[in-house]
Chains A and B, each alone.
Chain A
């Protein structure tokens, strides 16, 4: 994982609009994210997960890390993408992300490379939200309909 401290461009610090919501589920929570492309829907879904762990308004962009996810199919790719993000938060650098930019979105070989902007999670500075135990495949949906310009993902996270 590379790490670039400081030296952010103006573009890096632009915060994307919120295109996600949290849907009802008995014991867990369902993330629903959308965008103008499937790539954007994936990015939004990742941010939705971080938004459930803390209030993103308190998070500053101080560092950037790069993650990589590989899988055998689209659902697997979404799963592993989120799992990598969760891992980034759970261990060193304990990164809570405000912004995600997918730099490689390969739907042929099912590979994602993503730049994660944020800072180390700090109790006291960042409000504590819910803890995400795991990503699940249950009721996972990926809507990819370029004709209607519909790009949506649904993921249930175990909390």
Chain B
């Protein structure tokens, strides 16, 4: 655990670190403060330095409070993870020029990068227009408030899918009508493409299987 961050920070043995071992845990915390975070003056690090003392725990709690860690009430692993991340952030802030051009090494791509042609996939879900639109549809469908507009939209979708809803009369100017029409047209276009592909597949199969014949000796037609 924590191998990546420890490696990034230059810890001497990131491979073998065992976070379950109380002693190792404590020495990593000390190492972070001594080498990376340096929040206290050297003399004030005494409490953390006594890694064998029972009072270490109190010192650690105080340390976290002083750093304003959001997870000071969390599990030891969560606490350490935050400390590591904090250290990484400090490291980066100290050497912005060095790191800013760093590129993440792209893993080998098996599939080509798919650019979605579906306009729905390219919606900006956080735009005020989207949020407002969802708000309006929710008011119509009676969906309650929620901070995430996407969640509210999926609730609306659920309602539309499960409960019957008569088509609005054309004459009634309805805020639902226009977007519904657009969605229907997009759907029909998709469906047409699918049907065309199905037909092409059928024709391809037919080129192998088809052999239509008639035999007028079997019956009698005309007179």
Contact = CB atoms under 8 A, between A and B. Distances in A.
A, B in one complex: yes
Interface of A: 123-124
B170 interface: no
A98 B83 CA distance: 106
A16 to B, nearest CB: 30
A123 B220 CA distance: 7
Nearest to A122: B220
A123 B218 CA distance: 12
Interface of B: 220, 223
Nearest to B220: A123
Complex A-B, nearest 4 residue pairs according to Cβ-Cβ distance, in ascending order: A123-B220, A124-B223, A124-B220, A123-B223
Contacts of A124: 220, 223
Which DSSP category, helix, strand, loop or mixed, fits chain B's interface? loop
A124 B223 CA distance: 7
Contacts of A123: 220, 223
A134 to B, nearest CB: 23
4 contacts: A123-B220, A123-B223, A124-B220, A124-B223
A131 B220 CA distance: 17
Contacts of B223: 123-124
B24 to A, nearest CB: 90
A91 to B, nearest CB: 14
A117 B38 CA distance: 117
Contacts of B220: 123-124
B222 to A, nearest CB: 10
Nearest to B221: A123
A124 B220 CA distance: 9
A123 B223 CA distance: 9
B127 to A, nearest CB: 65
A66 to B, nearest CB: 27
B142 to A, nearest CB: 53
B219 to A, nearest CB: 8
A75 to B, nearest CB: 36
A50 B110 CA distance: 74
A51 B6 CA distance: 101
A101 B168 CA distance: 70
A123 to B, nearest CB: 5
A65 B220 CA distance: 24
Nearest to A123: B220
B146 to A, nearest CB: 62
A117 B223 CA distance: 27
